[in-house]
A and B are shown apart, each in its own frame.
Chain A
Amino acid sequence: MKRLLVAGLIFTATVAHGECYMRSAIHLMHQAVDSTPVDWQQLVTPDTGGQRCTVRYRIQINHNWQTAEGSAVATTQARACALAMDISRGHVLQEVTPDRVSADNQMVCSDLPEIRVHPVRIGDVIWQSEVDMHTIPAERKDFWYKRSRCRMFVERDVKNSNLWVYQGEICQLSNTPNSKWQVIDKY
């Protein structure tokens, strides 16, 4: 009975050690990935294997917007898109892996329009990941203005060898999850 108890304790300690290791890995991932995926795009096309689904979304890694993309083929659209999501998540995990020290260039061919950070003007309708997050952490949180969800952004502009950093506000056009945003002000 005593031996059984000791064996049980050793087993518990091993399990606890394993859990701690796993949590540590998850925590690391959450430190680097700063937002939930936004600006979803999905394209489904017929394929010899059934349906090809390509998903693309934007996610913040270390406060920079990154594009995650995955593509998969399956007999049904739902299955293909679920697989594509898994593949895109794998790509995101590769991005946040701490031992990632090499840089590589990839040519990506896709029928989905590319979303990237670019200069905007007051009144422009954009995806939220087309502007950078605010440099001050306290200003990154969403806020409400005239019943719309809004957030602040920054934009860098190099003019005559001078760096200008503008800031501004964008507000979501509707409360639907993947709604676009409008540039309300910039200064």
Chain B
Amino acid sequence: MKLLATLITVGLVGCASNGAYRPQAMSYYEVEQIKVTNRDCSRADQIIGQMEEQLRRKGYAGKNPEDLATDEDRQYNSRARVVIWSLRVGCNNPDRYK
């Protein structure tokens, strides 16, 4: 049992040292809480960068939704990209929603 625990520990350390470790992404709950309005346009690049980073951490960057494995993956991916495109579209096209 002790050996098994040691092996698991060594295995995890091994994963971290060979580059397989991936920084933890925000939770779906955290992403869902992000609401953007036109007041956020001044820091749009920052928020977009943050969302793109979450997509990279989750392994969704550049992926089509039908290629994602689970419903949870698609929901997270969709939510993050809605934030990104809300800022890209809304901040560059101020007359769009008038």
Contacts and interface: CB of A to CB of B under 8 A. Distances in A.
Given A138-B97, A187-B77, A145 B65 contact: no
A141 B66 CA distance: 26
Given A121-B64, A144-B92, A185-B85, 12 more contacts: A143-B93, A145-B88, A152-B89, A164-B65, A164-B66, A166-B65, A166-B78, A169-B85, A185-B81, A187-B65, A187-B74, A187-B82
B96 interface: yes
A185 B52 CA distance: 13
Contacts of A169: 85
Interface residues of A, number: 17
A95 B19 CA distance: 60
A164 B96 contact: no
Contact of A187 (B78, B92, B96, B97): B78
B62 interface: yes
B85 A122 contact: no
Q: Is the interface of B mostly helix, strand, loop or mixed?
A: helix
A31 B38 CA distance: 32
A141 B97 CA distance: 9
Nearest to B89: A143
A187 B62 contact: no
Interface of A: 119, 121-122, 138, 141, 143-145, 152, 157, 159, 164, 166, 169, 185-187
**Category for how many chain B residues contact A:** 10 to 19
B64 A122 contact: yes
A152 B82 CA distance: 12
A164 B63 CA distance: 16
A157 B63 CA distance: 16
Q: Which of A141, A169, A186, A187 has the most CB of B within 10 A?
A: A187
A145 B92 CA distance: 7
Contacts of B65: 164, 166, 186-187
Contacts of A157: 66
A121 B93 CA distance: 25
Q: Which 8 residue pairs are nearest across A and B when measured between Cβ atoms?
A: A187-B81, A143-B93, A187-B78, A143-B89, A121-B64, A166-B65, A187-B65, A187-B77
Q: Which of B63, B85, B96, B97 has the most CB of A within 10 A?
A: B85
A67 to B, nearest CB: 26
A169 B88 CA distance: 11
Contacts of B66: 119, 157, 159, 164, 166
A159 B71 CA distance: 11
B85 A144 contact: no
Contacts of B89: 143, 145, 152
Contacts of B62: 122
